[in-house]
Structure 1
Amino acid sequence: MSTPAYPADAAPLPRLPDAARVRRIADDAQALAAARTLAAAVAPGAAQRDRERALPWDELDLWSESGLGAITVPREYGGPNVSYATLAEVFSILCAADPAFGQIPQNHFGVLGVLREVGSAQQKTRLYGEVLAGRRLGNAGPERRSAAATTIVQGTTRLVSTPQGLRLSGQRFYSTGALFAHRVPTRATDDAGRAVQVWVPRDAPGLSVIDNWSSFGQRTTASGTVIFENVPVSAADVLPIWQLAERPGLSGPASQLIQAAIDLGIGEAAVADTIAFVREHARPWIDSGAARAADDPYVIADIGRLQIDLHAAQEVLRDAGHTLDAIAAHPVDAQASARASVAVAQAKVLTTRFALEASEKLFELAGSAATRAAHNLDRHWRNARTHTLHDPLRWKLHLLGNYHLNHELPARHAWN
């Protein structure tokens, strides 16, 4: 079903979805059912896509047709506006099937969160309409580290006014989903020195997306380079994201909720493969006296421990989603925004540790046979180790400790 990765100089434009085939999801139950159906379709090819770095073009067409891309669109604009708890569960379902495929839409929902908070009514009507028709959103991520970009929110990407109109120039990296997207939003600095988000059409002249992502994990997210060379921009496609720093909101916590859900899905898949391998292939240790590895008392105990950790991670993630839902039901002030960041930080700590533990424990319990390349079970650890570096766990712990000990509110940005 998948096609091989394209050469960097031949990155194709994504096919436009047939709007007649794009489903309209009406509620949370339909969103979860659609996620399970899509997960069942993409799971069988996950290991092969990882091994071959085969990009999931056809699978993403199924994603567009599933209607899942529009599940956070507000009801007044034609969407089901599902709960944050449901959004997190959708991601964990998809990432248990294929975490690279499942991660690709993370920025789609991240930029939709920005649109919700700072977009004008006209922008929302138009851009939500594109999403309801199945179009995908990527993101041109942070710039590579340089003297001008010492942190991920700094950079040299500029949106400037010219006699010919607005023009965008810059080079970005970690651009998960951009290669497959119909629009590529990016952060830039305008003439007034303010941070803006520019929603660039994928086929805009001067926009290049290069598939040079070479990480050992999450191999098929195509999280490579985006180059803007004097790209013409419509003022209607510019969002004033500087306003996000000036008022409390939920775009950052919602983004982090998705990251935690991705890690949970990776860990769930690792546990499932551990159990299957122990049952079907592993041999009992010579001193155990057991006829099957599944009867080894130490293996049994460790599987029990993994199930406890899995359940804890699931419940804390679900609780974080419900916390965001409760907060979103009222005007969001600084204290409420902080509570949201704290809730998702707690979830991120547990899902990070669980994903790493489960993918490592797999080999300890399954034995040396599980390391054979034919099984490709190392993809779970590679995916966990790669994705959990998205934002450092040590700063999640700092956020939590500083909040509870010193009553310090977390900084407001996409990583909190």
Structure 2
Amino acid sequence: MSVGFEPVSVAAPPSSRPPLIGMHEQAVEAATHLAEIFAKKASERDRERALPWVEVEAFSQSGLWGITVPKEFGGPGLSPKTAAEVIATIGAADGSLSQIPQNHYYALEVLRVGGSWEQKRFFYDRVLAGERFGNALAEIGQKDFKRRTKLFREAGEWFVDGQKFYCTGAIFAHWIPTLAIAEEEGKQVGYLVIVPRDARGVTVIDDWDGFGQRVTGSGSVRFERVKIEERWIIPFQASFETPTTIGPFAQLMHAAIDLGIGRGAYQEMVRFIRERSRPWIDANVERASDDPLTMSAVGQVKVKLRAAEVLLDRAAAEVETAQTEMTESAVAAASIAVAEARILTTKAGLLAATKLFELSGTSSTASEDNLDRYWRNVRTHTLHDPVRWKYQAVGNYYLNDKLPPRHGAL
């Protein structure tokens, strides 16, 4: 799988301790400022597949990667709504950059739900110091969804061995949380093992070659008999055997990515129509922006995006409620609310990216503008998990009072 690709160097230690962002408004303001900077070279990075090392460092050094650290461990403990809005704001500027911290926030939620007090104290402090989490959860080449990366013990020491793909953020990370399976009393039990990026036996390879989300660093990670410490092992499977917010929180972040890309496509569409598009001859108007059919179509995109924003905010509120009272009913309500948001952010993002070309005209397809990155990015990311199954879960919940399944894809 990695033939022709080279291993990636290790991320440098944080240059300084990031500031603590204590309020929602501060976080959105910081994200908006960064988005303006990131947007300037987003097309260039995408075209050249240039990994955004400088941008990721600026992103994490802003303090935004520590906003979900709980207050009792020195963080601001900001809400899921804040995290989602940060991701969507960055996503409008660069869809790849908005996906990179998704697994970082996800790992922090797994830690909050399943980690011991000592584990939380250790890892949350590392995050507040500016260190980043990536991910190495998925594996390819099999159809049964079974994980084959092993966690095992020999002579009193723990090791991880296996290979992962779709490892978004691992390239830029200081720690790589990986899903590994241990044999316990004849059964396979899943754990999230947070592995140091610079540990002996860890190899990260930049071999992601999808047509979208090109610079997310979503390549491969190999673990070759990597020695780990017991305090880096966090229960994972057990966190899905009881109601927790891990699944809906993860999906909320994915919905925010799609919404952000849709916002960016909409902004480009409006700019292009105003500045460069020609009106259709039968409209009998001087400017494309005065074409009544164009105005109607722009309105449809805006309404769809606005509705997606409302559902995302509602879903974030449900997740926050479930975080404070992780009952079966509260987690189910959060999962369904997030599924509804994911359905609409998928539809809205794809609609905005498609209408960008339909309403802007042939000149918008010029390769120098690289506007197709919006469609490529949102189409690629929305394949993360199928919307058709979210419709089924939502319908089964309202029609038959069936609670949705508990896993990271709903």
TM-score, length of structure 1 as denominator length = 0.95
Post-superposition Cα deviations, 1:16-75, rounded to whole Å, max 9, x if no partner, equal 11234x111122222112111211121111111001001000001101210111100000
Distance 1:204 1:235 in 2: 14
Distance 1:221 1:99 in 2: 9
Percent sequence identity is: 45
Distance 2:147 2:320 in 1: 33
Contact 1:167 1:233 in 2 (8 A): yes
1:106 aligns to 2:102 (yes or no) = yes
Which residue matches 2:396?
402
Distance 1:225 1:141 in 2: 10
Show the 5 A alignment for 1:338-353. 338-353=332-347
Show the 5 A alignment for 1:313-392. 313-329=308-324, 331-392=325-386
Picking from 145, 148, 172, the partner of 1:180 is 172
Distance 1:287 1:32 in 2: 43
Post-superposition Cα deviations, 1:323-369, rounded to whole Å, max 9, x if no partner, equal 2222323x211111110100000000000000111101111100000
Contact 1:46 1:98 in 2 (8 A): yes
Contact 1:141 1:176 in 2 (8 A): no
User: 1:100 Cα deviation (Å)?
Assistant: 0.2
Contact 1:24 1:67 in 2 (8 A): yes
Distance 1:125 1:398 in 2: 40
Which residue matches 1:32?
28
Contact 1:85 1:322 in 2 (8 A): yes
Show the 5 A alignment for 1:243-254. 243-254=238-249
State the 4+ residue runs in structure 1 displaced beyond 4 angstroms.
none
Post-superposition Cα deviations, 1:106-142, rounded to whole Å, max 9, x if no partner, equal 0000111000001000000000000001100000031
Which residue matches 1:223?
218
Contact 2:88 2:260 in 1 (8 A): yes
Distance 1:145 1:402 in 2: 31
- Give unmatched runs, 5+ long, in structure 2: none
Post-superposition Cα deviations, 1:179-231, rounded to whole Å, max 9, x if no partner, equal 10000010011131210110000000000001000000000001011100000
Contact 1:35 1:94 in 2 (8 A): yes
Show the 5 A alignment for 1:30-109. 30-109=26-105
Contact 2:165 2:218 in 1 (8 A): yes
Contact 2:135 2:167 in 1 (8 A): yes
SS of equivalent residue, structure 1 residue 305: helix
Post-superposition Cα deviations, 1:287-306, rounded to whole Å, max 9, x if no partner, equal 11111111111001111111
Which residue matches 2:15?
18
User: 1:164 Cα deviation (Å)?
Assistant: 6.0
Structure 1 residues 180-189 or 331-340, which shifts more? 331-340
Distance 2:290 2:60 in 1: 45
Picking from 5, 9, 29, the partner of 1:8 is 5
Distance 1:59 1:88 in 2: 19
SS of equivalent residue, structure 2 residue 127: helix
Contact 1:161 1:191 in 2 (8 A): no
Post-superposition Cα deviations, 1:356-402, rounded to whole Å, max 9, x if no partner, equal 11101111100000011011011111001100000100011011011
SS of equivalent residue, structure 1 residue 230: strand
1:125 aligns to 2:117 (yes or no) = no
Counterpart of 2:342, as a letter, is: K
Structure 1 residues 169-178 or 304-313, which shifts more? 304-313
Distance 1:309 1:240 in 2: 39
Distance 2:151 2:28 in 1: 39
Picking from 179, 201, 207, the partner of 1:206 is 201
Which residue matches 1:169?
161
User: 1:243 Cα deviation (Å)?
Assistant: 1.4
SS of equivalent residue, structure 1 residue 209: strand
SS of equivalent residue, structure 1 residue 167: strand
Contact 1:28 1:80 in 2 (8 A): no
Contact 2:181 2:191 in 1 (8 A): yes
SS of equivalent residue, structure 1 residue 185: strand
Which residue matches 1:195?
190
Number of residues of Structure 1 aligned to a counterpart in Structure 2: 404
Distance 1:281 1:141 in 2: 44
Counterpart of 1:157, as a letter, is: T
RMSD between superposed Cα atoms in Å: 1.1
Distance 2:380 2:137 in 1: 16
Structure 1 residues 317-326 or 195-204, which shifts more? 317-326
SS of equivalent residue, structure 2 residue 22: coil
Which residue matches 1:4?
none
Show the 5 A alignment for 1:225-264. 225-264=220-259
Contact 2:7 2:203 in 1 (8 A): no
Q: 1:245 to 1:325 in 2, by over 3 A?
A: closer
Contact 1:323 1:343 in 2 (8 A): yes
User: 1:10 Cα deviation (Å)?
Assistant: 4.2
Distance 1:336 1:25 in 2: 28
Which residue matches 1:3?
none
